[in-house]
A = this chain, B = another copy of it.
């Protein structure tokens, strides 16, 4: 059996699992994992894995000949930006990014109008909008409504599904990549039940990191029956509704959700740890108010950040001592990257260099699933019968790269 055949076999297994699922994802957006059924989320996982295996088997997955995948990054991005443009290219689309500074958006044009104006040839519309609490998800909904109306009114040939590339509430392309990572680590989604995952706040010299990653993790992992342990110092709360959601998810899926106020307790006997910094909730609220007022209050913003850093003298870091508390002292360390590494990228950071270096390659692999997760969201929201579509691609077996 050749290498190629092995990957094709694996892809076929992924497709078989996919066939078992009754999904409701076709025709929807992908905004938050909690907008979707568990079957839909599993479908994303299996399609992503199938695509990864098909690409490794050198099978072209370009299902489009012409069409755009548009994107709007309202915040900096490297990983997600390249994952999105890779995913677009993988399915046969050109990535076209709207730069609001170069467009008339900056001139007060309405969201509704712009959304339609750039979507005439768009198959997908990816958005990152994660800076302001209470804004990002709202904006994505607004764009979704705008293009849905455009399609209904005959302006657009189709409604491009919106893909959330991180908002103030959720970061689904990240958390689903994380899910694939741990599913592979533990030998399958079915083995995650009862596994302890510690999502814990860690110190960072930068203020204003979004809450979306920890929120995404606690909301998603509880649905797979995991024992989710959230820890953070006082003042670093997440959005209360999402914490409640995590509790509910745990109850409904035979999982567990517990909160701690320090990293050590959360780490005890953990199978997985995810130490990561995020901004204080109150600061984020205050910051959102200030940011909306623009440059005029730049000084106040700086003072706010300074006050926070002063107050937060305790450098909570994931180091080897703390890792010893985890299951057999060797929990899987995870991070969405880039991590603030003590002594490497900053004086005091989220993780010690020793711990990070041990798991560096793992975190890189974790990140590598994202382009396939996005491709999977694209296929599942757009095509009715994805198992059939993938089967057809395997049958056609068009080489992505000409034979060597």
Contacts and interface: CB of A to CB of B under 8 A. Distances in A.
Given A402-B392, A404-B384, A68 B56 contact: no
A contact residues, range: 35 or more
B78 A66 contact: no
A86 B155 CA distance: 16
A96 B117 contact: no
A118 interface: yes
Contact of A89 (B63, B66, B338, B400): B66
B398 A65 contact: yes
A78 B105 contact: yes
B338 A120 contact: no
Contact of A120 (B83, B95, B157): B83
Interface stretch (A106-114, A160-168, A247-255): A106-114
B65 A62 contact: yes
A380 interface: no
A12 interface: no
A37 interface: no
A215 interface: no
Contacts of A398: 65
Nearest to A401: B64
24 contacts: A55-B66, A63-B401, A68-B89, A73-B102, A76-B103, A76-B104, A77-B102, A77-B103, A78-B117, A79-B117, A82-B98, A82-B118, A83-B120, A86-B120, A94-B94, A94-B95, A107-B206, A107-B338, A108-B345, A110-B338, A120-B367, A154-B361, A383-B402, A389-B402
